[in-house]
Amino acid sequence: MTGRLPAANADLGLARREFFERGGLPVGRVTETILQSWRRCQRLGLASESLPAIEPVPQAQLREMRERHETLWRLARAELDALAGDAASSGSIVVLTDEDGWILDAEGHPQFLDKAGRVALMPGTCWNESRIGTNAIGTAIVERRSVEVRGGEHYLAPHRVLNCSSVPVHDPYGRVVGVLDISGDATVPPVHALGLARHAVAAIEHRYFDAGLSGCELLRLHRDPGLLGSAREGLLAFRQGRLVAANEAGLRLFGLARSELGRIQFGALFDDTLVRLRDDGVLLDRHGLALYGRVQDGTTPAPRVARALPRPAPALPRGDVVLFDAVQEHELTRACRVLDAGLPVLVLGETGSGKEVFARELHRRSARAARPFVAVNCAALPEGLIEAELFGYEDGAFTGARRQGNAGLLRQADGGVLFLDEIGDMPPALQPRLLRVLQERELSPLGGGKPVKLDFALICATHRELDAAVAEGRFRADLYYRINHYPARLAPLREQADRAGLIQALWARQAGTRRLSAAALSALTDYDWPGNRRQLAACLRLLVALSDEGETVDTAALPAYLRSARAAAPGPASAPGTTVANAVAPDTTGLPAETDAALDAITETAMRAALDRCDGNVSRAAKQLGISRSTLYRRLGAPARG
């Protein structure tokens, strides 16, 4: 409960004058939560009539914040997407922050995003109460519970343009890990905002338990068996009979507070044992009332409950693909200036070279970072539907059209960035219509309807040579010149100067304690990578999946296409046995073309020699070779000595 009292603007005005001008306590005119927050801010010496100079952190620092809170952002993504649609229709925005009030994401109504930006309610700024006074985000962090702050209840007078409703997000162990906030115009009462935010946070906190908790018995319970599997089920995790984790619904079943986690024993809550829950799906609490559910042991993933898939949204940088060298960083900086000036950017590069990754990064660094990023693959949409999907349609525009029509992807990008991938594959019949939209920034849905004004920045991408397509009549020249203000060409991976450094950096992000042998790194570096970054990322993920923690991955573990290329490559012979890792995965650059079987034989010989030196002791041999015992067993069927 927020303990809200109805307070008219006149009452708030009187309350502010009494507190800020006369030094009194306006008890009854504002809630106790607001009054206590005002007093905390006053003790900190915050000036209520001024707006502090709040500047968003640089984009690089914001990206680091998002990476640090990747779990929170990933688990909240579906709820942010769902709320963003509601917020856009109601003239408000939805905001996600970390545990200290730093805003990680903000989506919703484009015009209110602008208004919020004028008081620095935007990604990369901090809304901690100690910095900017009473506000729903910062005060919810202090109070560790849901808080509404309306208009003049904000400590800083410039913030009275906002109505804000915030709910803290807790991890399974009761720690605040972030805040979900819905903010809107102070002149519009936020009738359902707090309820929507609470519902979304319940779903986010439920997802934290999806993979189970290590070493715990996780109980999924509810009085109503029909609600099991939903975000309303109670989740309680016990380790050695002690309650160590729970969601809000689980705590409510027993009237517990999060501060009691770690102090409550199983027997204080239940009359039955877990045997009955496992056998019958029923458990009696201390009052003899039945709870229905099941037990999930250890880290066994919970069965998935069908949920609507969220629409694609700007993802946080993925550790396996998002790395830019100095040349690409320079290109990103220039392209960002072009995009912010309202001019289109055309990204050129081979398949797999990271064109969409480049476009998403460009969006994150642009002035429209808090707005939608809508990606459209012009080659993937069915030709018969591409016009309807892009431009939208009215109800009854054609057979099979959805009732109430469809806004279309172009309209979804309004206020943000539209990314047209593989634009070179757009059907010729649609090119003139797209050209008109780009020229007039206005579209008319299929089936009639009032023309809609659009405001979006444009990024296009293609692996095709568009100038050749224009010469051959496959791509309109006027459309080409409309989108080709600034071409950003991404070099293929084979032309990257420091391929070894890139591979090592990508490996370090996902390999844990696994290591690459010098020979394996050399093979990865020397390969041409016709599939570019996408192929490299897939290869590294495969090597991680097929190896164990602490293992040294050598050339024998590489995919067949890499081993074949390595064996066929001419080069100076390497000195055998120079390192332990190379003894397992010898450098074959000086050998004539070898078969995979020959390479395996070389590796097996080195392994058997090490095993002989260690008198058959597998642990010692594996340690000498820098690999895991399981690898040695797998390759040699070695006897289990040590």
Ordered by where they begin, the domains of the chain are 9-48+56-207 (3.30.450.40), 217-297 (no CATH), 326-491 (3.40.50.300), 497-636 (1.10.8.60)
| pLDDT tens digits, 237-267 | 999 999 999 999 999 999 999 999 999 999 9
Average the pLDDT over each of 32-36, 396-400, 503-507, 539-543 and give the range with the smallest value. 396-400
- Least confident window among 85-89, 307-311, 377-381, 459-463: 307-311
Q: Name the token pair of 323.
A: 């790395």
Q: What is the pLDDT of residue 636?
A: 62
For residue 442, name the pLDDT band (cuts at 50, 70, 90): confident
Higher pLDDT, 229 or 315: 229
Q: DSSP letters of 253-282?
A: HHT--GGGTTT-BGGGTBSS-HHHHHHHSE
Provide the pLDDT for residue 444. Answer: 64
The confidence score (pLDDT) of residue 386 equals 56
Does the pLDDT value for residue 392 go beyond 80? no
Residue 44: which pLDDT band, with cuts at 50, 70 and 90? very high
**What's the pLDDT score for residue 623?**
62
Q: Are the C-beta atoms of residues 461 and 423 closer than 8 Å to each other?
A: yes
Give buried/exposed letters for 120-139 (b at 16+ CB in 10 A, else e). Answer: bbbbbbbbbbebbbbbbbbb
Closest CA to 151 of 26, 39, 4, 12: 12
> 602 or 360, which is more confident?
360
Sign of dihedral through CA atoms 444, 445, 448, 449?
negative
pLDDT in tens, 533-578: 888 988 898 888 888 888 999 988 888 888 777 666 554 433 333 3
Which of the four pLDDT bands, split at 50, 70 and 90, describes residue 37? very high
Measuring CA to CA, which residue among 593, 587, 630, 589 is closest to residue 606? 587
Q: How far apart are the first and last CA of the chain?
A: 61
Instruction: Determine which of 97-101, 207-211, 447-451, 577-581 has the lowest per-residue pLDDT on average.
Output: 577-581
212: left (phi over 0), alpha (psi -120 to 50) or beta: left
Tens of pLDDT, residues 319-374: 334 467 778 888 898 999 999 888 999 999 998 888 988 999 999 889 888 888 88
Q: What is the mean pLDDT of the chain?
A: 80
Mean pLDDT to the nearest integer, 455-479: 92
Q: How far apart are CA 221 and CA 228, in angstroms?
A: 7
CB 292 within 8 A of CB 221: yes
**Which whole number is the average pLDDT over 504-516?**
85
- Look at residues 586, 518, 503 and name the one whose alpha carbon lies nearest to residue 552: 518
Phi, psi of 585 (to 5 degrees): -125, 80
The type of residue at 455 is D
**Amino acid identity, residue 444?**
S
Collect all residues with Cβ–Cβ distance below 8 Å to 215 and sequence separation of at least 6: 239, 298
- Alpha-carbon distance of 641 to 474, in angstroms, equals 68
| Residue 599 predicted with pLDDT over 60 | no
Looking at mean pLDDT, say which of 134-148, 494-508, 511-525, 588-602 comes out highest.
134-148
pLDDT of residue 201: 95
Structure tokens at 479: 């459309």
pLDDT given at position 26: 85
Highest mean pLDDT of the ranges 22-26, 142-146, 638-642: 142-146
Choose between 9 and 286: higher pLDDT: 286
What's the pLDDT at 250?
A: 95
- The pLDDT assigned to 59 comes to 85
**Structure-model confidence comparison of residues 22 and 397, the more confident one:** 22
User: Per the structure block, which two tokens stand in for 605?
Assistant: 């010989």
Please state the pTM of the whole predicted model: 0.50
Per-residue pLDDT at 2: 44
Convert the pLDDT of each residue in 144-181 to its tens digit. 999 999 999 999 999 999 999 999 999 999 999 999 99
Q: What integer pLDDT is reported at residue 577 of this predicted model?
A: 35
pLDDT tens profile 105-132: 998 888 888 888 888 889 999 999 999 9
The residue written with tokens 């059907």 in the block is 427
Q: What pLDDT is stored for residue 489 in this prediction? A: 92
Beta bridge partners, 238, equal 217, 243
Give me the DSSP letters along 141-161.
HHHTS-EEEEGGGSSSGGGGG
CA nearest 424: which of 362, 386, 469?
469
Give Cα 438 distance to the centre of its chain: 30
Q: Residue 477 phi/psi, 5° resolution? A: -65, -40
